[in-house]
Structure 1
Amino acid sequence: MASKHERFPLAEVTFAGLPLANATVDLWIDEAGRSQWAARVLVSAPLPDTGRLVGRTKDGRAIEGDAFVAGRQMGPGGRRQSLVELHGSGELEGWAEAPE
């Protein structure tokens, strides 16, 4: 069973260098004790299948990590928007660092 689940918004988001709207990030520890994360974002243009997700938390921390597109579905704007789910492929850098 997953533990230590956290969800938080991410602003000033880019993926593979492309600017995006804000994202929602989920971070948890899996059954094997490994840190896992995923992000969801609405997009109006195609995204590469892999890239680096970069953004800022509400308290100003810089967060980033490598990710891949795990799913796409039609967003609330119909065909003009897609809800993209990104899965982390490694640590989410910056989250464990306390804000100053």
Structure 2
Amino acid sequence: MRLTPDQQTAIRRIVTELTGPKATVRLFGSRLDDHKKGGDVDLLVELTEPADNPAWLSATLSARISRQMDGRRVDVLISAPNLIRLPIHDIARREGIML
């Protein structure tokens, strides 16, 4: 996994601040491969409660985490009981690593 322990802690802290303590966050995508270079940070944030404004939440998480990571591009996928489940959610859940 190509995230430092400090980056992992910062991501978990930001997700908890914006979504609460029940949310989980998984890293998926190219950052899981230690042999690759660069690439964005792909995160799946899973909520136990419905998301009131998932687009705002995703954008806010992405911006705050990106600032914490010196401008690295961050893509945030939201999973919540009131949102449509897409194949990418299954891939992220299956291949992702819990932070």
TM-score normalised by structure 2 residue count? 0.35
Structure with larger Rg? 1
- More RCO (CA 8 Å, sep 6+): 2
Q: TM-score, normalised by structure 1?
A: 0.35
Q: Considering fraction of residues, name the structure with more helix.
A: 2
Normalized per residue, the structure richer in strand is 1
